[in-house]
Amino acid sequence: MKGKVIDINNILNSYEKKGEGDTGHFEKDELKAMIDELAKSILNYGAEQILKKWIPVKKSFSLEYHLNKLGKSELTTIAVNFCIDKASTLRKEELKNKILELYEDRVNMFLENMDRERFVYLLDLVNKNGYGENIENENIGHIFYFRERALLFTGKIKNENVIIMPEELQKIIKDKNNLELVGKFEKNEELIKLFWGMCYYYGIIDLKHFKELVVKYVDFDTSKMNMKIILRDGAEYYGGFNFNGYTGRDIMVEDSQYLLIEQIRRFDLDFYPLRKEELLNAAREDYIEETEAYKRLHSFLTSNYNINSNQAKDLIFYLQCSFKNEKDLDEIVDGFMDNFDVSDVKEASILIHEIYRFANNTRQSILKGYTPEELNTTLPKEKLSLKGVRPCISEE
């Protein structure tokens, strides 16, 4: 990073030194200035790293040419994605040569475990002779995903950002574009979306349980599919869920360890039997489950308070995330009420009543996808003794 680097440790050290003089604190404006400078430095660093991905290049389709343009850290990232052993210990030239040597084999591995959306994107670029420009409206995160696997490269030609697919990959894709492979893409895509949907509703799901559950939703054999690679790459591409090779979690989960422990404690409670359609619908970044309870609360807020539909959606989204993360209900209600100018106790009581109703009918990760209402009304009584289950609050 160019210019002055602000280190949070320097701030803490300064605080400790001030403590020696019995002040032990920063003035509010001084601390704010330091934090602002730290944030600015971080943003500048991030911008600088992104700009490095758009350096001037020739209109070359040679894989070796583009690998030569990359720094060691970028080559290391590709090598790690190529499953090259001890990639971090190799020199730059060694990394480049290893990638060139294994390129066809590793690309075939990527394609075998890819889904339809990613292949269609690559095929579309092949149909454009491996060259794309005017990409301002494209998802940059997706472009960088392909770049970190040497499937395409970014650069600047005549002061315009472009993407280039190496000729080696163009040939492989042309040879691979057949019905058998398309069928694999569709199966891979179905697995990714089902897993993503389970992460949304259950908060966290390990690979073992997913393998047990997914057979209820698909009509093909999954035993020989490399789910670790399929789900890992799917998570990196879509970004709506995380997967570490063993466990997946929704990106809104704040404490996955706590959630996992709580789910294990409920060993005699099965995961809620969601419909396939529900899981597939939830597999998108902007998804919000609009249940009857959701619609009721949304209507109540827009009808009784001076907020529009989008503002109501944002507030309800906050509630959903809080409930799913098992936040303290009183704190959630207090925080939510701060958004409204409530005139009297009666009005406050009505609003709180609607929040409780919504809470009772929101699927909670800690309850393996059940709502508190379902656990109190549909399960045998012995299930209700499970420690930690939030009781329904009376709606009468």
Q: Does residue 299 share a domain with residue 215? A: no
pLDDT value at position 338? 83
Averaged confidence pLDDT in the chain: 84
Angle at 333 between CA 327 and CA 334, to 5 degrees: 105
pLDDT tens, residue by residue, 209-262: 999 999 999 999 999 999 999 999 999 999 999 999 999 999 999 888 889 898
Q: Please tell me whether residue 205 adopts helix, strand or coil conformation.
A: strand
Residue 381 lies inside a defined structural domain of this protein? no
Q: Does residue 67 share a domain with residue 48? A: no
Angle at 294 between CA 288 and CA 299, to 5 degrees: 120
- Domain encompassing residue 240: 187-281
Q: Does residue 40 share a domain with residue 71? A: no
pLDDT tens, residue by residue, 59-107: 999 999 999 999 999 999 999 999 999 998 999 999 999 999 999 999 9
* 205 pLDDT more than 90: yes
Residue 17 lies inside a defined structural domain of this protein? yes
pLDDT band (50, 70, 90) for residue 31: low
Q: Does residue 350 share a domain with residue 325? A: yes
H-run or E-run covering 243:
strand 241-243
pLDDT value at position 334? 82
Which residue carries 């929101």 as its tokens? 362
Q: Does residue 67 share a domain with residue 41? A: no
* 38 pLDDT more than 60: no
pLDDT tens, residue by residue, 174-204: 887 777 788 899 999 999 999 999 999 999 9
pLDDT mean over 346-372: 89
* 314 pLDDT more than 80: yes
Q: Which amino acid is at 245?
A: G
pLDDT value at position 390? 42
The pTM assigned to this predicted structure is 0.80
Which residue carries 């000729």 as its tokens? 167
